[in-house]
Amino acid sequence: MNGLKNTSLGEPNAIAILFFALVVLGTLVITYFAAKKTKSTSEYYAAGRSITGFQNGLALSGDYMSAASFLGISGIIALQGYDGFIYAVGYLVGWPALMFLIAEPLRNLGKFTFTDVVAFRLNKGPIRIAASIGGLLVVLFYTIAQMVGSGKLVELMFGMPYEMAEIIVGVVMLLYVLFGGMLATTWVQIIKACLLLFGITLLTILTLAQFNFNPGMILSEVQSMYGEQMLTPGGLVTGGLDAFSLGLALMFGLLGLPHILMRFYTVPDAKEARKSVSWATTFIGYFYLVIPIVGFGAAVLVKKSVIAGVDKGGNMAAPLLSELLGGTPFLGFIAAVAFATILAVVAGLTLAAASALSHDIYVNVIKKGDATEAEQVKSARIATIIFGVVAVGLGILFKGQNVAFLVGLAFAIAASANFPSLLLSILWRRFSTHGAVWSIIAGGLTATVLIILSPTVWVSIFGYEEAIFPLKNPAVVSMSVAFITAIVVSLLTPEEKARTMFDDEKARTYLGVGAE
Amino acid sequence: MDLKETVNSKKFKKIVALRWGISITMLIILFVLYYGYVLTIAWNPEFMAKKIGENFNVGIVSGVVVIVGAWLMTVIYVSWANSKYDKVVEELKQDID
């Protein structure tokens, strides 16, 4: 078994460009047809609630299986071994929690965004502002991480200048979102999920074929080449509290990601919403089970030194493995799939940001709900353009910066600002407006400040010797702060109206009576 | 029955209590499974390195168990809710006038 000697990675690859052009062309044709069906707000934000559970399951998994999890996790496994697998496990366990705690009430109570649910029985103005700022921050940090990562990946794979990659991603995804709204974004996501699942399955089969279809043989090769520590926990998880805190952020962060929560409004009812979680968990679970085969396979077949030679972070492990096993055509296909993945994820994020800016803030706070359908759709499109331009601008601004911590920050804020108020508004009768607003502010601020003081930023980015806050992810502290603030402030500021409405909304929460 | 009577009916209260009973139980199992996995890595990495058979070890097998277990619990909950729970929901909705 020889490692890869020469790679065509980073050179303009005719097959990659051809596949990529096909994907873009196909998705733009879909956008063209979707645009004809996208006239009302319900069509723009929620695809007219016409998506089936199975389709939404694919789209949800598409939103979640970003280029970072495909290229990033297979790369960490290839270079560092077992530690990458801990991430894979952590990213899956949020899905059952999402199902058990919030999926049904979220679908039944909301209209377009999770903010609708939090604002349902509370004083609408302040709570919408607070919740949508929490949502926007999560989407913004997540988007910066995606844009910077994608610019680098496209540069590595296609040899295209960074700025040009940013602009192409920005323009194409704006076309989807602007004209085709949620319907086009969903179908782009479905196509990308299918391509990604197909690509990774083929890559896994080709890898296993080198080892007589015996995963145990890959592991034994890994051990004999690099030693046993590749197969055992390394430096990622050290202290118990550190591990618990990171686990909390990974698990409950999902329950506060606006672009994921928004997908629940594209299906007609709670039954389809449940089916979509079931399918999403199936696809994502499968994805994270085969990713280690790709990662360890790359370590053995491509060799760690070659992978690290192309990119220190290991992001090119999967593309290099596909070139070794399937030649330039397969590399081209995988590169195109990775690019499509970036496009689809950024499109989903942009639509989530546009809904917060337009539906939550402009229509419901500034116009107090008094806007015609045409005005609402127009403001949604303007918000889409604004956020799209900001995303490209920030992507270029942050070029070359270490932004890996932004994903951790996005998950920490999602778990500490968005999730507690969402859960309490569904479950707790005495939850009040002040309680919700202060909980969002306290959770979001604590998460942000502690991340800056943590080893992830204070040591890795600012270069100080010792961090002021010891944990890598602050979720255990910031989530507690958010819940305690919510409970204390709600008890101090009783709100009669919110309590009466809690009883009234039960029929909607559990039976779906009156759900939009 | 009107909405208020439905929400206050025994049948409604029973199904909502059952729904939370099942989901909280499953959530606790998920917690034990996942945080048990993470904390074992933190506190007892040697145990995770223990070999199972010739090529596998406890760490890899338990990671796979957590993923498969999380998936299985989701599927079980959804199939319960889409058959049993939704049946009661339909009956309750029919009683509302």
Q: Do A231 and B59 count as a contact with CB atoms less than 8 A apart?
A: yes
Query: According to the model, what pLDDT value does residue A456 have?
Result: 85
A56 contact residues in B (CB cutoff 8 A): none
Share of chain B above pLDDT 70, in %: 99
Length of chain A in residues, anyone? 516
**Chain B residues touching residue A216 (CB < 8 angstroms):** 53-56
- Residue A256, burial from CB neighbour count under 10 angstroms (0-12, 13-18, 19+): buried
Rounded CA gap, A282 and A65, in Å? 13
Quote the CA–CA distance of A422 and A410 in Å, as a whole number.
16
CB–CB contact B60 A219 (8 Å): yes
Name the phi and psi angles at A276, rounded to 5: -65, -35
Question: What SS3 class is residue B48?
Answer: helix
Of B3, B16, B63, the CB nearest to A89: B63
Contact A271 B92 (CB under 8 A): no
| Beta-carbon contacts below 8 Å between A and B | 153
More confident residue, A279 or B7: A279
**Ranges of chain A whose pLDDT falls below 70:** 1-6, 12
By Cβ distance, the residue of A90, A232, A242 closest to B49 is A232
How confident is the model at residue A344, as a pLDDT? 92
How high is the pLDDT of residue A1?
A: 42
C-beta pairs of A51-54 under 8 Å, 24+ apart in sequence: A51/A186, A51/A266, A51/A267, A51/A272, A52/A267, A52/A272, A52/A275, A53/A267, A53/A271, A53/A272, A53/A273, A53/A274, A53/A275, A53/A276, A53/A278, A53/A279, A54/A275, A54/A276, A54/A279
The pLDDT tens digits for B13-71 are 999 999 999 999 999 999 999 999 999 999 998 999 999 988 999 999 999 999 999 99
What pLDDT sits at residue A5?
A: 58
Share of chain A above pLDDT 70, in %: 99
Assigned token pair, A65:
């299986």
**Exposure string (b/e) for A498-507, b if CB count within 10 Å is 16 or more?**
beeebeebbb
User: Which of B23, B34, B67 is closest, CB to CB, to A285?
Assistant: B67
CB of A235 within 8 Å of a chain B CB? The answer is no
pLDDT of residue A2: 45
> 3-class SS at B56?
strand
Contacts of A90 in chain B (CB under 8 A): 34, 38
Tokens, residue B43: 């506190």
> What's the CA gap between A38 and A30, in Å, rounded?
12
What's the gap in Å between the CA of A455 and the closest CA on chain B?
Answer: 18
Which residues are registered as beta bridge partners of A239? Answer: none
* Cα nearest neighbour of A235 on chain B: B42
- Residue A74 has which token pair? 């297979």
The pLDDT value recorded for residue A10 is 73
The answer to whether the Cβ–Cβ distance between A95 and B89 falls below 8 Å is no
Is the CB of A479 inside 8 Å of chain B's CB atoms?
Answer: no
Task: State the Rg of chain B over Cα.
Answer: 20
Asked if A137 and A152 count as a contact pair (C-beta separation under 8 A), the reply is no
Structure confidence at residue A124 (pLDDT): 85
Angle at A181 between CA A175 and CA A183, to 5 degrees: 115
Reply yes or no on whether the pLDDT at B97 is more than 80: no
What per-residue confidence (pLDDT) applies to A335? 87
The pLDDT-based confidence of B96 (bands split at 50, 70, 90) is confident
